[in-house]
Amino acid sequence: MLLQYLALAYGAALTVGSPVPDPEPQISLPPLIPSVPGVTDPIVSNAPPLPILQVPTPPLASDPFTGSNITPKKIGYFWTGAGDNEHADFLATYSLDDDTFGQFIWLTDVPTSGNSPHHLGVSADGTTLVGGGLLSLLKTQDTAYYFDVTNPYRPQFLHSNRAVLSSITDEIRAKPGGGFLITYMGSAAGTSPGRIVETDANYNIINEFPALTDVAGNLNVVEEPFNPHGLTVDWNKNIFLTSDFVVPVSILKPSLGIQHDNTLRLWELDTRTIISTITIPNGGGIQDVKFIPGNSESAALATAVALGQVWIVYPFRFDSSGNQGVAELLYDLGPLAENVIAIYSDITQDGRFAYFTLTTANHIAALDISDLINVVRLDDPNTVQPTIGPHYIKITPDQQHIVVTDYFVQTGDIGLINTPADFRALYIDINTDGSLHFNRSIDFEQQFSRGGITNRGGAKPHSSVVFDLTDPAHPIYY
């Protein structure tokens, strides 16, 4: 009976449009089961896992916390899940300055829990952050959460929304005129095809691509699984690339096995239509793709997870059949990188150095790509690094450090992926030759357990955005 109720409610939720943000924070729909102190708390705590769908209750009441009045020049925002999946998920704000590094500044709750917070992005004007929920649909709740960071030391939750045709929010790219392009890896039910979701400058969803009127685009994503995870945009060349990773529902029980993808899509930007499909044979999940800054051919790097390889994509070259877009092997990261569940990347703004997190190998690889014919590895793959489960990686705006969060995905009893993690945010120095020097970290597990800043049963930081306010007249954020 409960599952029937959830299914009906979920179906109804998909017909609801995205609201215009009000001055007061809001979500698209209230929890299906309203919060009743002393009544729903035991339901949240004691309800057993359900197949796919979860009990759609609001989060447990949050414990108080004490913020800080420090005003660092460098700020890290971390989109974080409550360790117990019962308290609210949240945005954590920390200092990244040398003298106050790792000092907690502020915590901003969202009105839901169990989202498995995923990627975090910042608007082109630096006033708004958006964080997506990987597993939000399991509780039939919103999948994208927006924060006002006009005051960078006191972020405020603005509103949240959900798409109609798609779910599983992944990569986020800011539009120059305001709003975002976002990959949603799965359909509304977590299957294929996913979509590219676009918002306007008020962060309302205005379309999902391929649009339903795009017959050729919809045929394309039916012929080959379309589960876009990576997203990179060349605003000047009128193209963008997406990389297909995995059919989301296949990682959840009951499952016949995880279904990985082997393809990228090349898009025309202004029409939001697919130009071609590019295949990496036996790629086993093409998790990430990023254009190399300054490359004359607009080449991009893509990560093939099962192969443990980095491929280079030339979007303006043509293959032997006349199809636009060519992918070639750039660098094999070696046997320790094969089948590591996830390989995520970032590239310095000068296009010289590229970094890759090898999640279940507990390793971060560094490549000098200044000469694409002679790529040089800068790390020793056999060195034991002080990281467990590294995944999301951001090069700081000053290009002197990388921030890595040691947590990918833990689906618990309902899923097939539960990667080890130590729930830290690593702050790693970039040496002048591009190699890495492990420096400092922030321990989220300790700070959000009993006796810490506030108790959430621990915390799972998945992603970050870094602000650099060293020059107040020219702030930088990424």
Average pLDDT over residues 435-449: 97
Q: What is the pLDDT of residue 35?
A: 58
189 versus 205: the higher-pLDDT residue is 205
Q: What is the pLDDT of residue 27?
A: 76
Residue pair 438/385 in contact (Cβ under 8 Å)? The answer is yes
Residue pair 265/324 in contact (Cβ under 8 Å)? The answer is no
To the nearest whole percent, how much of the chain has pLDDT over 90?
A: 84
Average pLDDT over residues 145-159: 98
Q: Share the mean pLDDT of the chain.
A: 91
**pLDDT at residue 357 tops 60:** yes
pLDDT in tens, 232-250: 999 999 999 999 999 999 9
**Angle at the Cα of 392 (from 389 to 395), degrees rounded to 5?**
125
Confidence of residue 13 (pLDDT cuts 50, 70, 90): very low
Q: What is the pLDDT of residue 18?
A: 37
Burial class of 256 by CB neighbour count within 10 A (0 to 12, 13 to 18, 19+): exposed
Cross-strand bridge partners of residue 76: 94, 466
Q: What is the pLDDT of residue 55?
A: 73
Q: What is the pLDDT of residue 170?
A: 98
CATH number of the domain bearing residue 247: 2.130.10.10
The values of phi and psi at residue 47, to 5°, are -65, 130
Residue pair 163/197 in contact (Cβ under 8 Å)? The answer is yes
Looking at the chain, how many residues does it have? 478
**Angle at the Cα of 217 (from 214 to 220), degrees rounded to 5?**
150
The string of DSSP letters for 116-135 reads -EEEEEE-TTSSEEEEEESS
**pLDDT at residue 40 tops 80:** no
Smallest CA-to-CA distance from 348 within 265, 231, 233, 431 is with: 431
To the nearest whole percent, how much of the chain has pLDDT over 70?
A: 90
Average pLDDT over residues 354-383: 98
pLDDT in tens, 51-96: 456 777 889 989 999 999 999 999 999 999 999 999 999 999 999 9
Q: What is the pLDDT of residue 124?
A: 98
**pLDDT at residue 127 tops 50:** yes
Q: What is the pLDDT of residue 15?
A: 33
Q: What is the pLDDT of residue 295?
A: 98
pLDDT in tens, 318-333: 999 999 999 999 999 9
| pTM value surpassing 0.75 | yes
Radius of gyration of the chain (CA): 21
Q: What is the pLDDT of residue 184?
A: 98
Instruction: Give kind and range of the element (H or E) at residue 475.
Output: none
**pLDDT at residue 470 tops 60:** yes
Q: What is the pLDDT of residue 29?
A: 65
Amino acid at 82: A
Query: For the chain, first and last CA: distance in Å?
Result: 46
For the chain, the domain total comes to 1
Structural domain span for residue 92: 2-477
pLDDT in tens, 153-199: 999 999 999 999 999 999 999 999 999 999 999 999 899 999 999 99
Q: What is the pLDDT of residue 201?
A: 97
d(CA 445, CA 197): 33
Question: Which of 33-37, 88-92, 300-304, 418-422 shows the lowest per-residue confidence on average (mean pLDDT)?
Answer: 33-37
Q: What is the pLDDT of residue 10?
A: 34
pLDDT in tens, 251-265: 998 888 999 999 999
